[in-house]
Amino acid sequence: MASFVPTSDDTLEDRRLYTEARQTTVACLDCLAEVGVKKNSEHHTAIQWSSSAQGSCPVLSRRGVPRARSVHAGCPRMEASIDAAAREGRIPLGAEDGY
C-alpha cells in the first residue's frame, strides 16, 4: 500500500514529467514490445514498461515477472534494441529542465 498518494495538481505534474517527459518509444527488435525510454546521460537509461509490453516480452513472461513497480530485471533483447536506437541517434541524450 502506498504511504503517499499525490493529489495536488503540481505534484501530479511533477510525477508525469519525471516518468513521461522526453520519452522515446522503442520497439524490441525481436518481439516488437514497445517501451518508453529516456537517457539523461550516456550511462543512464530509464525504461518504462507498460503491462502490455511486459506481457508481450517472452523473456519477462518466461520468468513469471509480476506486473508491478518492483520489476528490476530487464530483458537483454530490449536492452540491445535500446542500445541500437541510441547509437542511431533515435533517443535524445541529456536532461532538459531537470527531466
Q: Does the pLDDT of residue 99 top 70, yes or no?
A: no
Q: What is the pLDDT of residue 28?
A: 96
Instruction: Tell me the mean pLDDT in the region 77-86.
Output: 96
**Spatial separation of the C-alpha atoms in residues 56 and 28, rounded to whole Å:** 10
Any idea what the Cα angle at residue 9 is, between residues 8 and 12, rounded to 5°?
A: 85
Residue extents of the structural domains in the chain:
23-87
pTM of the model: 0.75
pLDDT at 2 over 80: no
How far apart CA 38 and CA 26 sit, in angstroms, is 10
Look at 4-13, 44-53, 85-94 and tell me which has the smallest mean pLDDT. Answer: 4-13
| Separation between Cα atoms, residue 31 and residue 20, nearest integer Å | 23
Nearest by Cα to 96 from 54, 40, 55:
40
